[in-house]
Amino acid sequence: MTPHQSATISRRRLLAAAPAAAAALALPGCSTPDRRFTLGTAEPRGFFYDFGQSLTAAVARAKIGFSLDPRITDGSVENLAGILSGKLDFSLVLADVALTERNRLHAVGRLYLNYLQFAVPANSSIRSISELRGRTVSLGASSATIRAGHLLLKAGGVPESEVNVKEVAVTRVLDALASGEVDAALFAGGVPHPQMETSGGRGPVGGIRLIDLAGEQRILQAEYGPVYQPVTLPMSLYSSGTEIASVGISTLLLARPDLPNDVVSGVVGVLIRRSAELVPPGTVGVQFLDPRSLIYTSGVPLHAGAAEAYRRNHA
């Protein structure tokens, strides 16, 4: 056999083997490794955490060639730092926190409205932020809620030196209010918050009531802009006998700027086509999951992959 004949046969064998090799790659257990991307959420059982779990499951069901890996974090502040440093691929961040670095960020979309909720036992004499002087209060356990709590105290004219701040996770708010561990507790999320369910006997006798935040909202909006939105919570909420004014802050989903466009576009597709899978039952505040609303990201520019996806969906 001549060298030329040997080379010809080798090429033929290579070409003949190529389809078999490709077929082998397509067999179960022989596929290319799944692409995984991290998603910063927040404290367990909080709204960020629950939404992150739902989004991860929806992406898995959509079978779009990659998966999300939700990470428990300290919330918006840590999530923002994770995006900026490249340690996180996607992050859930409240809009007021995101705006501190808006020119360095890329958004996937606006997800839902977070309601700030400052709860006291239903039979408490506390009716306003100003009456928290000398009291023990929780400003939450996630970074963004704590940040909002400090702003609310300031807007209410209460120096932090005049309150005793104690950190209480959202899963412990009802127990802490019932035992008197704290006199008031701030938490954020949709309404009613799933962790505030008192039907099983948890929480203070008579339930909880929310402090009206109308005055504080006006001060925050005047100082920081429309990122702090006026919202009205229904009288049927918890044990409040009247409608309660509160503060709404949009939640943004951010992406690392160098993420592939197809990955970000794939997540947008899940947000649009599987929105029903991402709304906790009985919860309001998750009203932004459609193309027309997702694009309003409080001045944070869209990631190129997200912009491309919205154009395809005529947003």
Instruction: Identify whether residues 107 and 256 lie together within a single domain.
Output: yes
Instruction: Identify whether residues 67 and 189 lie together within a single domain.
Output: no
Q: Is residue 305 part of a domain?
A: yes
> How many structural domains is the chain composed of?
2
Q: Where a domain ends, among 249, 272, 294?
A: 249
User: In a 10 Å sphere around its CB, with 0-12 CB exposed, 13-18 middle and 19+ buried, how is residue 15 labelled?
Assistant: exposed
Instruction: Identify whether residues 175 and 213 lie together within a single domain.
Output: yes
Instruction: Identify whether residues 133 and 151 lie together within a single domain.
Output: yes
Q: Is residue 64 part of a domain?
A: yes
User: In a 10 Å sphere around its CB, with 0-12 CB exposed, 13-18 middle and 19+ buried, how is residue 74 labelled?
Assistant: middle
- Residue pair 170/46 in contact by the 8 Å Cβ criterion: yes
Task: Tokens for 153, please give them.
Answer: 């105290």
Instruction: Identify whether residues 119 and 234 lie together within a single domain.
Output: yes
Q: Is residue 21 part of a domain?
A: no
* CATH number of the domain enclosing 244: 3.40.190.10
The CA-atom distances, in angstroms, between 256 and each of 32, 36, 91, 224, 274 are 23, 14, 9, 26, 23
Q: Where a domain ends, among 249, 271, 299?
A: 249
Instruction: Identify whether residues 103 and 201 lie together within a single domain.
Output: no
- Which residues fall within 8 angstroms of residue 162, CB to CB, at 6 or more apart? 133, 134
Instruction: Identify whether residues 137 and 50 lie together within a single domain.
Output: no
Q: Is residue 4 part of a domain?
A: no
Instruction: Identify whether residues 49 and 98 lie together within a single domain.
Output: yes
Q: Which parts of the chain are beta strand (E)?
A: 35-40, 66-71, 90-94, 107-121, 136-138, 164-165, 184-189, 208-210, 229-233, 244-255
Model-wide pTM > 0.95: no
What is the domain extent for residue 56? Answer: 35-113+250-312
> pLDDT tens string for the chain (315 positions)?
444 444 433 433 433 333 333 333 333 333 444 799 999 999 888 888 989 999 999 999 999 999 999 999 999 999 999 999 999 999 999 999 999 999 999 999 999 889 999 999 999 999 999 999 999 999 998 889 999 999 999 999 999 999 999 999 999 999 999 999 999 999 998 888 888 988 778 899 999 999 999 999 999 999 999 999 999 998 888 877 889 999 999 999 999 999 999 999 999 999 999 988 887 665 655 456 777 889 999 999 999 999 999 999 876
- 93-148 per-position pLDDT tens digit: 999 999 999 999 999 999 988 999 999 999 999 999 999 999 999 999 888 999 99
